[in-house]
Amino acid sequence: MDFNNLLIETAAGVATLTVNRPQALNALNGEVLTELAAAFYQLEYDPAVKAVVLTGAGEKAFVAGADIKEMAAMNSYEGHQFALKGQHCMMAMEKMRTPVIAAVNGFALGGGLELALGCDFIYASEKAKLGFPEVTLGIMPGFGGTQNLARLIGKNRANELIFTGKMVTADKALAWGIVNELFPPEELLPKAQEAAAAIAGVGTLGVAYAKNAIANGLNMTKEDGFRYEASLFGVLFATADQKEGMAAFVEKRKAVFTGK
């Protein structure tokens, strides 16, 4: 599929998906969101893709937010629909079996930070700046940010970030647990691709079920989450990957996983 605002490159099980609208600091308009949803679907069902790295084009921004020029003219109904459209993308990433790593190469603001938070984890450049400036525009986060940020770092830190609208440095985002690791700008993409390659090299179904257990378990009681985990664990013993992974260990060789 051809996209106007996205680039996709796939190599050795890893797809690098780049939001490519650098003239607007990769801001998310309706068309970009439509394309992102289609790209996630395409990547999820591409057998050559086992992990995804999501980044932004150019040196300045990951994504500087939802497109303010497009939102400026929206009425209440359109704003609601726009929020739902962005949330659909975040949910699509959460429901994908394929892990998505955000490589935050610059500004990740508003809907851009929400896009990163929708990924399975975040690596960032040491120069990245993150924040939720929505309140400075008279609005609030609407692509799942209030939910994902509070679940990730807790209510009080989420409140501070969202109520003040202030940007934080990459160091602070790391200290607060928004970002897993920081890298010099030129190392960020290779490091994210390296992590994705590590994921691509292990048992695909084990990764997919673990992702499913973590994402769904967060919405369950601990006891239900334990039960759910055990069920998925049991199912893995019906897979070729479990037979291969354990046989390879016993035979002291490298496992060759098929994702079946």
What does the binding site for ligand HXC look like in residue numbers (CB under 6 A)? 24-25, 27, 64-69, 82-83, 86, 107, 109-111, 133-134, 137, 141-143
Name the nearest CA neighbour of 32 among 64, 58, 67: 67
Instruction: Kindly tell me which of 115 and 195 has the beta carbon lying closer to ligand HXC.
Output: 115
Q: Is 78 a catalytic residue?
A: no
| Residue 186 known to be catalytic | no
> Is the CB of 33 or the CB of 200 nearer to ligand HXC?
33
**CA–CA separation, 64 vs 131, rounded Å?**
10
Residues 118, 89: Cα–Cα separation, whole Å: 8
Least distance in angstroms from the C-beta of 115 to ligand HXC = 9
Tokens at 9, concatenated: 């490159």
Q: Which is nearer to ligand HXC, 17 or 162 (CB)?
A: 162
Cβ at position 82, least distance to ligand HXC in Å: 5
Minimum distance, C-beta of residue 157 to ligand HXC, in the bound complex (Å): 19
Q: Measured from the CB atom, is 107 or 183 closer to ligand HXC?
A: 107
CB 153 to ligand HXC: min, Å: 18
Residues 6+ apart with CB under 8 A from 213: 225, 228, 229, 232
Nearer to ligand HXC, 139 or 220 (CB): 139
* Cα-trace Rg, the chain: 19
- Smallest distance, Å, CB 34 to ligand HXC? 15
Catalytic residue, from 9, 44, 114, 223: name it.
114
The helix-helix angle for 222-236 and 204-217 (nearest 10°) equals 170
Question: Mind telling me the catalytic residues?
Answer: 114, 134
